[in-house]
Amino acid sequence: MPPIRISRAFLLRLSLLGIAALFLLVIGVSSLSLRTERVDLTADRIYTLTPGTLKIVDELAQPVTVTLYFSEHATRDLPQLRSYEQRVQEMLREMAVRAHGRIRFKMIDPVPYSDDEDAAESYGLTPASGGSNGERVFFGLVGTGGQGEVPPQSIPFFDPAREAFVEYDIAKLLYELGMPKKPRLGVISSLPVEGNLVIGEQAWTVLRQLDQLADVTSIDASSLKHIDEGIKVLLLIHPKKLSDDAQYAIDQFVLRGGRLVVFVDPDSEMDNAPLVDSHGIVDDHNSDLHRLFTTWGVVYDPTKVVLDRSQALTIELNGNNVIHPAMLGLSAQDLNHDDVVTASLQRVNVSTAGFFELAQDTHARLLPLVQTSDDATVVPSQRVRDAAADPSVLLENYEPTHERYVLAARLRDTFRTAFPERNEPGHLSEAKGPGEVVLVGDTDMLSDRLWIDVQPLLGQQQLTPFANNGDLVANIVDNLGGSSALLSIRGRANLQRPFTRVKALQAAADRKFLVKKRELENELYETQRRLVELQPAKGSGGATATAEQRREVEQYLHRKLAIGKELRDVQHQLNAEIDALGLRLKFINIVLVPGLVALAGLIYGWRRSRRGRRTV
């Protein structure tokens, strides 16, 4: 039997088939084994999760389900919102991939009058108006725990104004899904924030609001020697004459990694202590934490009040409207919109507030949350008290310092103890890592009168906020009550990437258009003026005037057509430059870069083949 001869063409076809099969096999294996690998080449690393988010995702003990509700049909004419949704979806998918099955991601389009729309509303999602054909737009996230122990958490609507904090909001939702109970919040206060049930006084609204976010525990400062390890956040409101033991307990709480919020005040109007007690001791209704502040590198003067005539509130006093430069209505421009705590706030009201600075020799960082305008100044608190009958006198001889004073801020440092002489068991002389304390220079902002309007309705009190004071405090506690990983997540840069080169071309063209437009307007004005001059000659019946008028009109029409052609030429040039730029980008992305990669591969293969031939 003659041997079977296999042609070279058949071998070539078989080799090509084998290469194709091998290629498909490599693609399949790599898609499975490398599906968690990512390379983010964007300028702002917008597709790279921060270490804090990765830590929260990795520490999920139970599987969770996150469902993104997005109205696909209703947003077909809203390209910016659709682009934002794509980024949110990609971030959620990235987290799901990272979680290795502990996060299940779903997407639902809640079409009108459907069960999905009812479910979205039942989870607390807030639809926006303005969709196609007047449809409501849902764009929110719902998270449910795998075991059902934690109630569902939701982001009612992904507001484009909070796009910089979208990663924080999603990570916070995941963290709360994995948190079985509310964090414990300790409150130390010398003000009647808890009200008095004996005489029928309710707790301040801000405290009732915090009771919904955390497990609030009141702490008596007079007998304080140690703060319970289970307390995660401590609110210190108007600390007056704290004992060394109480200050030491606060000092060690911070060094252990506890989160502290300090409200001090150079003139607390809600302080109901007598100005002169039975022993003749004067109480100026101010508060300070001098020993701890000094150790932390914080400069604060409890005898100085900040005035700001640009942000002064108008109050009613004895039937008259009076400007009060020590009562300030701080607007969005005075709030730090790069911080998650104040990013969404619009107004914060304060009264007779103090300010914070850093000592020159400190390594701590002071990150402002609330500041005055640069039309502010500082006066002694006694002068403000003396002007209680007529606050407008504070504007006499007013001299602004042109500085923006910090009224609330984050203080970050690796804190040291203010009590190095102590040697109790478990004493810490320095924190193990960086810590954070929030400082607020006013206590009156917590009172209802500065941010809540109370009106009786059907035997109940209707509360209508006119400022964001309560939101500010709730955001601070909510932020500090999370994990250290959550605190490490900061706002990103705006993810919108404008075509700066195209915008420059358009701006140049606009300047050209503006010049031509002015030329046309000048031509029109001159022609009309000339026509007015010719009117008397025309009225006398002379034919010369009529012919000259006709020539003027013809010249204007010719010039107008010429300028219109020039405007079209400028527009064509603009389009040509933009098209050329687009072609260059396409050439680079489609031809040049792949060509360079292929060339590098060919050179690499050629060099390997040469080395192989040399070894043989």
Q: Is 271 left (phi over 0), alpha (psi -120 to 50) or beta?
A: beta
Task: Please give the share of the chain, as a percent, with pLDDT higher than 90.
Answer: 46
State both tokens at 511.
């300047």
DSSP string, 375-440: TEEEEEHHHHHHTTT-GGGGGTT--------EEEEEEEE--B-S-TT---TT--SB-SS-EEEEEE
Arithmetic mean of pLDDT over the chain: 83
Mean pLDDT for 407-423 is: 96
Whether the pLDDT of residue 205 is over 70: the answer is: yes
pTM (2 decimals)? 0.68
Range 167-195 average pLDDT: 87
3-state secondary structure of 325: strand
- pLDDT tens digit string along 472-484? 999 999 889 876 6
Q: Which helix (H) or strand (E) holds 254?
A: helix 244-255
- 346-366 core/surface letters (b: 16 or more CB in 10 A; e: else): ebbbbbbbbbbebeeebeeeb
Tell me what pLDDT residue 419 has. Answer: 96
Q: Which is higher by pLDDT, 505 or 143?
A: 143
State the Cα–Cα distance between residues 287 and 264, nearest whole angstrom.
Answer: 5
Contact 283, 277 (CB under 8 A): yes
Confidence check: pLDDT of 541 > 50 = no
Residue predicted with more confidence, 3 or 309: 309
What's the CATH number for 51-177? 3.40.30.10
Token pair in block for residue 220: 């008596």
Task: Please give the order of strands across the beta sheet that includes 347-351.
Answer: 312-317, 320-331, 347-351
> For the packed helices 205-213 and 469-480, what is the interaxial angle rounded to 10 degrees?
30
Per-residue pLDDT of 563-605, as tens digits, reads 666 656 665 665 666 667 667 777 787 778 788 887 887 787 7
**Pairing mode, if any, of strands 184-189 and 231-237?**
parallel
Q: Which of 312, 310, 306 is nearest to 325 (CA)?
A: 312
45-54, 81-90, 433-442, 544-553: least confident range: 544-553
321 contacts 328 by C-beta, under 8 angstroms: no
Helix, coil or strand: residue 306 = strand
pLDDT in tens, 80-137: 899 999 989 999 998 998 888 899 999 999 988 889 999 999 999 999 988 877 789 9
Locate the domains of the chain by residue range: 51-177, 184-301+353-374+404-481, 500-582
Residues paired with residue 416 on neighbouring β-strands, in sequence order: 430
